[in-house]
C-alpha cells in the first residue's frame, strides 16, 4: 500500500464523509435537546431525566468489546449504510407513534436504549473507517475538520432546537431527522471502501482470539489506558454537569432554555475557532503533551464554577472551554489514532467506549441523585472535583507513558 503524502484534503471520499457527517449531526442535535427538555418538563425530576441519558449509554458497557472484532474484519461502508437505514426506520416509526399518542416515559427509555445500541456499532465502524478516508499527510487537518463539524452544527442547531421544542411537535421533529438521515445515506453510498473485508472464513475461535489480542495490546500500553480512563471520567462528569445545568436553567426565574441554547453556542464558537487554528497551523508535536495537561485542569475548574457565575460570565466560561477543549480533543484524536495500529482500531475504540459508558452512567446517576438532594450548583462543583483529582494521577504523573502517545504521527507508524 502506498503512503505517499497527498497535496489536497478534499478528495471525493473525504468530502462525502464530511457532508454526510454534517447531516447526521444536524439530525442528532434536532432530536437530542428536545427529548431531554421534554422528559424533564413532563416528569419534573432530574433523576428521571438522567435515567434517559443513562439508557443511551448502557449498550456501551456490554456491546463494544463483543462487536469490535466483527467491525475490524468487516466492510466499514456496509456497516455504516446498513445502520443508517435502521436509524431511518426507527425515526419514522417514532414520529408516527408520537403524532397520535401522549407522552409515555417508558417509550423514550426504550427509544434511547435502541439508539444507544445502534450507536455502538455505528461509532466503532465510523471511527475505524474515518482515518482511512483522510489523505496521507493530511491527518491533523482531517481530524481538525472532524472535531469542528459537531461544534459548527451545534452553534446553529442548539438555539434552533430549543426554539423548535417550544414551537413544533415532537412527531414533526422526528420526521425531519429521518429526512436528514436519508440524505446522509445517499452521500455515504458514493464513498469507496478503502479496505476490503477479510476473505478468510471467520469462526468462533478466531473471534475469541481477536478479543484476547485487544486485551493483550492494552495490557502493554499503559499510556493508552491512562488517557482513555481519564477521558471517561471527565466526559462522564461533564455529562452529569449538563444535566444539572439544564435543570438549573429550567427552574431559575431569570433563565430559560433559549439562554441555555446560546450558552451552548458560545462553547461551539470556541470549538470552531479552535478547529480553524488546527486546520491552518496547529500545536507543534513536541508541545502537545504540556498543552493538553494545562487544558484538562482548566476545563475541570471551569465546569465546577459554571453555575456560580452571572450569565454573561457563563458565556465567557463556555467560550474558553470550547476553544481549549476542542484543541486538546484534536490533539488527542490525531495522536491516539496515529499511534494505534490500523487493525486494532475498532477493538481499542471498543475499550474506550466501555469505560466511557461506565464513567457516563455512574456520573449521570450520581448527578441525578445529587440533584434530588442538593442545589444544582453544589452538585455541579462536587462532580467537577472528581476529574480534577484524577487528572493528576492519570495524566500529569505518568509522563513517561503518556507523552510518546501525544507526540505520535502516522509517518512514524508507516515508516
Cβ atoms of 56 and 117 within 8 Å: the answer is no
List, for residues 209-227, the tens digit of each pLDDT value. Answer: 777 777 788 788 888 889 9
Split at pLDDT 50, 70, 90, the class of 181 is very high
CA distance 260 to 262: 5
Higher-scoring residue by pLDDT: 400, 345: 400
| Residue 203's pLDDT band (cuts 50, 70, 90) | low
Burial of 156 (C-beta count, 10 Å sphere; 0-12/13-18/19+): middle
Grid cell, residue 134, equals 483522510
pLDDT digits (tens, 9 = 90+) for 323-373: 888 888 888 877 877 777 766 777 777 777 777 778 777 887 888 788 888
Mean pLDDT of 262-267: 82
Grid coordinates given for 302 = 471551569
Looking at residue 193, the DSSP 8-state letter turns out to be: P
148 versus 187: the higher-pLDDT residue is 187
Give the model's pLDDT for residue 2: 43
Q: Is the pLDDT of residue 310 over 50?
A: yes
Query: Does residue 323 belong to any structural domain of this protein?
Result: yes
- pLDDT over threshold 90, residue 93: yes
**Burial tier of 205 (Cβ tally within 10 Å: 0-12, 13-18, 19+):** exposed
pLDDT grade for 86, boundaries at 50, 70 and 90: very high
Q: What is the pLDDT of residue 151?
A: 65
Sequence-ordered list of residues with C-beta below 8 angstroms from that of 200, at least 6 positions apart, any chain:
none
Q: Are 331 and 402 in contact (CB under 8 A)?
A: no
Least confident of 193-197, 259-263, 326-330, 347-351: 193-197
The answer to whether residue 56 is domain-embedded is yes
Cell of 102: 401522549
pLDDT band, very low/low/confident/very high, at 287 (cuts 50, 70, 90): confident
Q: Which segment of 80-94, 153-167, 284-298 scores lowest on mean pLDDT? A: 153-167
Which residues neighbour 323 within 8 Å (Cβ) at sequence distance 6 or greater?
A: 270, 271, 273, 274
Q: Is 8 exposed, middle or buried (0-12, 13-18, 19+ CB in 10 A)?
A: exposed
Question: 194 lies in a domain?
Answer: no
Question: 287 in a domain, yes or no?
Answer: yes
Instruction: Look at residue 87 and tell me if it is in a domain.
Output: yes
- Specify the pLDDT at position 92: 94
Q: Where are the alpha helices (DSSP H) in 58-192?
A: 59-62, 64-73, 76-98, 105-133, 139-167, 170-188
CATH for 64:
1.20.1250.20
Q: Which parts of 168-284 fold into alpha helices (H)?
A: 170-188, 204-220, 222-251, 257-280
Burial (0-12, 13-18, 19+ Cβ within 10 Å), 137: middle
* Assigned domain for 4 exists: no
Question: Can you tell me the distance from the alpha carbon of 40 to that of 47, in angstroms, rounded to the nearest whole number?
Answer: 9
Q: Is residue 198 part of a domain?
A: no
Question: Which residue segment(s) compose the domain that 119 sits in?
Answer: 12-189+203-414
C-alpha cell at 412: 512514524
Q: Please check whether residue 6 lies inside any domain of the structure.
A: no
At residue 302, the pLDDT reads: 94
Q: Please, what is the average pLDDT of the chain? A: 82
For residue 315, is pLDDT > 90?
Answer: yes
Band (pLDDT 50/70/90 cuts) for residue 104 is confident
Burial of 394 (0-12, 13-18, 19+ CB in 10 A): buried
CB contact set of 298 (below 8 Å; sequence gap of 6+): 320, 321, 324
The count of domains in the chain is 1
Q: Taking the complete model, does pTM exceed 0.85, yes or no?
A: no
Amino acid at each position: 500500500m502506498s503512503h505517499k503524502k497527498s497535496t489536497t484534503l478534499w478528495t471525493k471520499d473525504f468530502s462525502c464523509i464530511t457532508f454526510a457527517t454534517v447531516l447526521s449531526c444536524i439530525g442528532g442535535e434536532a432530536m437530542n435537546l428536545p427529548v431531554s427538555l421534554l422528559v424533564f418538563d413532563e416528569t419534573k425530576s432530574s433523576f428521571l431525566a438522567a435515567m434517559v441519558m443513562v439508557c443511551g449509554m448502557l449498550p456501551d458497557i456490554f456491546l463494544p468489546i463483543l462487536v469490535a472484532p466483527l467491525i475490524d474484519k468487516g466492510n466499514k461502508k456496509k456497516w455504516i449504510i446498513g445502520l443508517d437505514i435502521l436509524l431511518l426506520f426507527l425515526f419514522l416509526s417514532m414520529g408516527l407513534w408520537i403524532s397520535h399518542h401522549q407522552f409515555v416515559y417508558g417509550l423514550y427509555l426504550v427509544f434511547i436504549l435502541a439508539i444507544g445500541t445502534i450507536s455502538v456499532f455505528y461509532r466503532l465502524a465510523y471511527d475505524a473507517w474515518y482515518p482511512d478516508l483522510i489523505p496521507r499527510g493530511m491527518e491533523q487537518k482531517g481530524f481538525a475538520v472532524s472535531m469542528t463539524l459537531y461544534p459548527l452544527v451545534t452553534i446553529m442547531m442548539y438555539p434552533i432546537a430549543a426554539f423548535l421544542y417550544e414551537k413544533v411537535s415532537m412527531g414533526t421533529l422526528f420526521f425531519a431527522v429521518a429526512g436528514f438521515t436519508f440524505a446522509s445515506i445517499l452521500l455515504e453510498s458514493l464513498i469507496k471502501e478503502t479496505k476490503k473485508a477479510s476473505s478468510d472464513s471467520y469462526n468462533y475461535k478466531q473471534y475469541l482470539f481477536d478479543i484476547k489480542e485487544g486485551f493483550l495490546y492494552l495490557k502493554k500500553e499503559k499510556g493508552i489506558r491512562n488517557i482513555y480512563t481519564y477521558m471517561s471520567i471527565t466526559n462522564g462528569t461533564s455529562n452529569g454537569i449538563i444535566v444539572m445545568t439544564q435543570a438549573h436553567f429550567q427552574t431559575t426565574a431569570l433563565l430559560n432554555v433559549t439562554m441555555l441554547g446560546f450558552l451552548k453556542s458560545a462553547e461551539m464558537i470556541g470549538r470552531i475557532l479552535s478547529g480553524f487554528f488546527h486546520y491552518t497551523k496547529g500545536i507543534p508535536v513536541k508541545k502537545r503533551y504540556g498543552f493538553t495537561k494545562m487544558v484538562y485542569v482548566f476545563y475541570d475548574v471551569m465546569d465546577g464554577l459554571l453555575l456560580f457565575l452571572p450569565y454573561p460570565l457563563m458565556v465567557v466560561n463556555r467560550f474558553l472551554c470550547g476553544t481549549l477543549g476542542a484543541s486538546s480533543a484534536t490533539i488527542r484524536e490525531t495522536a491516539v489514532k496515529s499511534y494505534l495500529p490500523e487493525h486494532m482500531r475498532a477493538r481499542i475504540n471498543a475499550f474506550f467506549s466501555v469505560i466511557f459508558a461506565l464513567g457516563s452512567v455512574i456520573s449521570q446517576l450520581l448527578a441525578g441523585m445529587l440533584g434530588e438532594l442538593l442545589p444544582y450548583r453544589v452538585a455541579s462543583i462536587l462532580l467537577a472535583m472528581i476529574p480534577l483529582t484524577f487528572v493528576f494521577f492519570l495524566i500529569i504523573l505518568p509522563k513517561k507513558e503518556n507523552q510518546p502517545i501525544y507526540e505520535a504521527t502516522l509517518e512514524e507508524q508507516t515508516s
